[in-house]
Amino acid sequence: MIKPRTLFDKLWNSHLVDIQDGDLIYIDRHLVHEVTSPQAFEGLRNGGRRVRRGKMTLLVADHNVPTTNRSNGIIDIESCVQVQTLEDNAKAFCLEYFGMEDIRQGIVHIIGPEQGFTLPGTTIVCGDSHTSTHGAFGALAFGIGTSEVEHVLATQTLIQHPAKNMLVRVDGVLPVNVTSKDLALYIIGKLGTAGGTGYVIEYVGEVISSLSMESRMTICNMTIEAGARAGIIAPDKTTFEYLQDRPMSPKGIMWQNAIAYWKTLTSDRGAYYDAELFINANSLVPMVTWGTSPEDVLPITGCVPDPVVVVNPSKRAAVERSLIYMGLIPGTPLTDIKIDVVFIGSCTNGRIEDFRAAASILKGKKIASNVKLLAVPGSGLVKKQAEDEGLDIIFREAGAQWREPGCSMCLAMNADKLDEGERSASTSNRNFEGRQGRGGRTHLVSPIMAAAAALTGKLTDVRKL
């Protein structure tokens, strides 16, 4: 009998080119953005090498692009050079490129799925850790460094070590106003930011099956924050429906053949996992981070923790450091924490479903007078869809700024950033020191929690609004 295999094992084995000197695996899809690619293309040029499979490569500018009026191009000279370099490289190496004026432009992890570039059963890489997002489609997708970007461009392969398998099963039903973002934060809190190191996490269970593709992407996106290499969810009807008729999805008879193959992409019964985590979703509540690591997470009903009770000395030192940076006093109820800025967007929560959810909270209301709310769609197509549905009007009437697509305040490489000491409720994925601007303080939340915080000017339990 053949040994039962996990979905990860199947994806790995079906891409193995060679096993001498480390596993050499084939890469089907390569997404490239402006920040982590210039040195890779420079390396190709210096080595006199070509791009091996241009058709498997898609370029887009997202990290640096302005989210305000783009008619004058990019004002910041360095950002402009970086984006221009990407465009030049696209031309020089004959690669598909979505420029700033293209409606398909957006955050790399939003446009891949949107275009049907992301497909089940593929290996997908990008010079960006949140490439894990694409695992929601039953693809093996992970972030790589610039040297590896160059390696993939030149060879369409990567030298990798196989990961260990972790299973996360989520059963029950997510309560009303508790979202897949809350679930993702909860899991990171359980595992810790290094708990997934060396693993690929497969998510299964009633809750996962019932989630939309957008919500599944949020979970796989955040998987990297638990230290795991990738997150995967077996493809099913929801996946196929999402992909059907996307511009780059297979068509006609190919589509039928593809579906037949994709249906085989599940873990075998009895497959072995090196670690397992079981969660019942019934009692989950909205989550919020209080510190400077995504593992510093608590239910919104909680209070700022006291380092005195932390036993592990290096962990205690980390909590103390976080609290000083965040300007928080132990014991303060989280709902007493005042907010200056709310950011709704990013590859974690910048999809249409996220804007619909936030709009449902904001509809007919005004945000608190001391709050600035930035709504940044994840792509030009998400923006258009939202506008077609009138969501932009709801946001604007509530007092929000409705912006052009890009990474924006998720990492604050463009003009969208927190000032020293400013505090945000953000739907993005990282609350690291300085992430949203030097001295800026980030609380990670779901889109509806972000909208609720915008209305009251404080971290708020959206269930009580």
Residues that bind ligand SF4 (CB under 6 A): 62-63, 107-109, 128, 130, 346-347, 407, 410-411, 428-429
Q: How far is the CB of 410 from ligand SF4 (least distance, A)?
A: 3
Nearer to ligand SF4 (CB atom), residue 410 or residue 451: 410
Instruction: Tell me which H or E stretch contains 154.
Output: helix 146-155
Residues 6 or more apart from 166 whose CB is under 8 A from it? 196, 199, 200, 201, 202, 228, 273, 274, 275, 276, 277
Rule CB under 8 A: say whether 439 interacts with other proteins: yes
Query: 10 Å Cβ neighbour count for 388?
Result: 10
Nearer to ligand SF4 (CB atom), residue 255 or residue 432: 432
Amino acid (1-letter code) at residue 259: I
| Dist. CA 398–CA 357, nearest whole Å | 14
| Among residues 65, 107, 111, 119, the one that binds other proteins under rule CB under 8 A | 119
Nearer to ligand SF4 (CB atom), residue 121 or residue 135: 135
347 contact choice in ligand SF4, other proteins, none (CB below 5 to 8 Å, kind-dependent):
ligand SF4
92 contact choice in ligand SF4, other proteins, none (CB below 5 to 8 Å, kind-dependent):
none
Residues 6 or more apart from 390 whose CB is under 8 A from it? none
Per the listing, tokens 């795991």 go with 228
β 157-160/23-26 pair status: antiparallel
**Contact flags string 347-386 toward other proteins, x per CB under 8 A:** ----------------------------------------
Instruction: Tell me which H or E stretch contains 402.
Output: strand 401-402
Beta strands in 135-248 (DSSP E): 140-143, 157-160, 164-171, 199-204, 230-232
| Among residues 109, 151, 351, 423, the one that binds other proteins under rule CB under 8 A | 151
Q: Is 196 within 8 Å of 166 (Cβ atoms)?
A: yes
Q: How far is the CB of 267 from ligand SF4 (least distance, A)?
A: 28
Nearer to other proteins (CB atom), residue 206 or residue 433: 433
Q: Is 459 within 8 Å of 451 (Cβ atoms)?
A: no
Residues 193-222 that bind other proteins (CB under 8 A): 193-194, 197-198
Rule CB under 8 A: say whether 99 interacts with other proteins: no
Q: How far is the CB of 129 from ligand SF4 (least distance, A)?
A: 7
Q: How far is the CB of 378 from ligand SF4 (least distance, A)?
A: 8
| Dist. CA 424–CA 428, nearest whole Å | 11
| Among residues 91, 315, 366, 464, the one that binds other proteins under rule CB under 8 A | 315
Alpha-helical (H) ranges within 273-373 are: 313-326, 346-349, 352-362
Rule CB under 8 A: say whether 166 interacts with other proteins: no
**Contact flags string 15-54 toward other proteins, x per CB under 8 A:** x-xx--xx-x-x-x------xx-xx--x----x-x-----
Residues 6 or more apart from 439 whose CB is under 8 A from it? 418, 419, 420, 421, 422
Q: How far is the CB of 396 from other proteins (least distance, A)?
A: 29
> What b/e sequence results for 177-186 when a residue is b if at least 16 CB atoms lie within 10 Å of its CB, and e otherwise?
bbbbbbbbbb
410 contact choice in ligand SF4, other proteins, none (CB below 5 to 8 Å, kind-dependent):
ligand SF4
| Among residues 7, 32, 56, 352, the one that binds other proteins under rule CB under 8 A | 56
